[in-house]
Amino acid sequence: MSWFRRLSRNARTAVLMFGLVFGMTGLAYASVPLYRLFCQVTGFGGTPQVAQGGQAPGATGRIISIRFDANTDRQLPWTFRPEATHTSIPIGSRNIAFYTARNDSGVPVTGTAAFNVTPAQAGRYFTKIHCFCFNEQTLQPFQEVRMPVTFYVDPAILTDPDARNISEITLSYTFYKVDQRAAAR
């Protein structure tokens, strides 16, 4: 630290300000992945959990309604929709739902899906076993694909005073175009 003391007062101030700006810029870039990790771990903001091992705990006998929603960003030339918009499932049982995506353009296009669950209190109990949203999807010109999501609703929802009276959960996806030039860097 002796090199720092030898600098003039203005130079020390400049070094400190540069360090502050550098640190704040790094924090800004790290905030999105850190927030995403926080949400995935806690279920905060309706972020579903991801199952480890692919097993569901088993049906409890209580039924809950699941609504499926699909959206597409304007920059993505796809048609994206759930095959069924609503189902009723036993809490704790393994379930599967399908979405369909179609590339409506004459060129290959890559997209990625963001997702959430509402009401937000249900996010920590809606658990995905397998989902198309975990990977980028590239569709060839006019290609149409079925994309599954395998999930269960954790029976622990029945013991949470803030979530036990939820009768319907909405799983919503929005597909966004992936900028291939930025992804290649």
Same domain? 85 vs 97 = yes
| Average confidence (pLDDT) over 53-72 | 82
Same domain? 177 vs 128 = yes
Same domain? 71 vs 142 = yes
Q: What is the pLDDT of residue 99?
A: 96
Same domain? 63 vs 95 = yes
Q: How many domains, in total, are found in the chain?
A: 2
Q: What is the pLDDT of residue 33?
A: 58
Same domain? 17 vs 106 = no
For the chain, the straight-line distance linking the first and the last C-alpha, in angstroms and rounded, comes to 37
More confident residue, 77 or 19: 77
Same domain? 60 vs 125 = yes
Q: Which long-range contacts (CB under 8 A, 24 or more apart) does 42-46 make?
A: 42/124, 43/123, 43/124, 43/125, 43/126, 44/120, 44/123, 44/124, 45/116, 45/120, 45/123, 46/116, 46/117, 46/118, 46/119, 46/120, 46/122, 46/123
Same domain? 13 vs 81 = no
Candidate from 22-31, 91-100, 104-113, 168-177 with smallest mean pLDDT: 22-31
Same domain? 162 vs 85 = yes
Domain range for 94 is: 46-184
Last residue of a domain, one of 11, 27, 42: 42
Q: What is the pLDDT of residue 27?
A: 63
Same domain? 175 vs 103 = yes
Q: Would you say the pTM of this structure is higher than 0.75?
A: no
Same domain? 99 vs 121 = yes
Same domain? 140 vs 118 = yes
Tokens of 73: 């960003």
The mean of the pLDDT values for the chain is: 82
Same domain? 93 vs 35 = no
Tokens of 57: 């705990």
CATH number, residue 68: 2.60.370.10
Question: With bands split at pLDDT 50, 70 and 90, how would you rate the model's confidence at 28?
Answer: low
